[in-house]
């Protein structure tokens, strides 16, 4: 296995881990919706918005399918690194991560903050999703030698 293939496997492993974490969150909420279990948090703690559950679940399943597709393409080496994709993903992922961290910070710092800031399960999993986007950005940029300023040498 050459260095590039090994790097792809490292990125793929992290992407699959993040996908698995998000899958566990989606499954946990589904279980609590249809067959509540005492060892899981209540359904309401999984629900961070006022979206109807059927719509939230539909969106989550689309996100999971996309995460699986992207992870598979990185793992198999069929994802072609792109500077444009890496740059866009880095910008969007950075904004997403900053917003997710800000949400948690407000929830911690302001006891009377609206419930959206204080629902920890969705907040934490937005960090998982942002980490997925940033990992994918790093894959694109590293594969092109742009992750650590190599382009400026």
For the CA atoms of 133, 134, 139, 143, the dihedral, rounded to the nearest 10 degrees, stands at: 130
Sole residue written with tokens 């911690």: 108
The pLDDT of residue 125:
97
**Cβ(63)–Cβ(129) under 8 Å?**
yes
- Helix/strand/coil percentages in the chain, nearest 5: 75, 0, 25
**Cβ(45)–Cβ(119) under 8 Å?**
yes
H or E element at residue 23: helix 3-34
Confidence of residue 3 (pLDDT cuts 50, 70, 90): confident
What whole-number distance in Å separates Cα of residue 111 and Cα of residue 138?
36
The pLDDT of residue 147:
53
pLDDT of 146 above 70: no
The pLDDT of residue 120:
93
Model confidence pLDDT, tens digit, residues 45-77: 999 889 999 999 999 999 999 999 999 999 999
Model confidence pLDDT, tens digit, residues 93-118: 999 999 999 999 999 999 999 999 99
Average pLDDT, the chain: 92
Taking residues 85-96, what's their average pLDDT?
97
pLDDT of 127 above 90: yes
- Could you tell me the two tokens for 87? 């740059």
Confidence of residue 151 (pLDDT cuts 50, 70, 90): very low
Percent of the chain whose predicted confidence (pLDDT) is above 90: 84
């Amino acid at each position: 296995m050459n260095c590039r293939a090994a790097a792809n496997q490292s990125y793929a492993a992290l992407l699959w881990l993040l996908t698995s974490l998000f899958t566990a969150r989606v499954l946990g909420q589904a279980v609590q919706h249809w067959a509540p279990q005492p060892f899981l948090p209540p359904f309401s703690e999984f629900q961070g918005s006022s979206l109807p559950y059927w719509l939230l679940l539909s969106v989550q399943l689309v996100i999971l399918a996309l995460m699986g597709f992207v992870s598979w393409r990185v793992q198999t080496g069929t994802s072609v690194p792109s500077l444009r994709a890496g740059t866009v993903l880095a910008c969007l992922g950075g904004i997403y991560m900053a917003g997710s961290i800000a949400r948690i910070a407000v929830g911690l710092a302001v006891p009377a903050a609206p419930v959206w800031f204080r629902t920890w399960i969705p907040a934490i999993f937005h960090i998982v999703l942002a980490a997925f986007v940033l990992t994918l950005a790093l894959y694109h940029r590293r594969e092109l030698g742009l992750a650590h300023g190599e382009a400026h040498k």
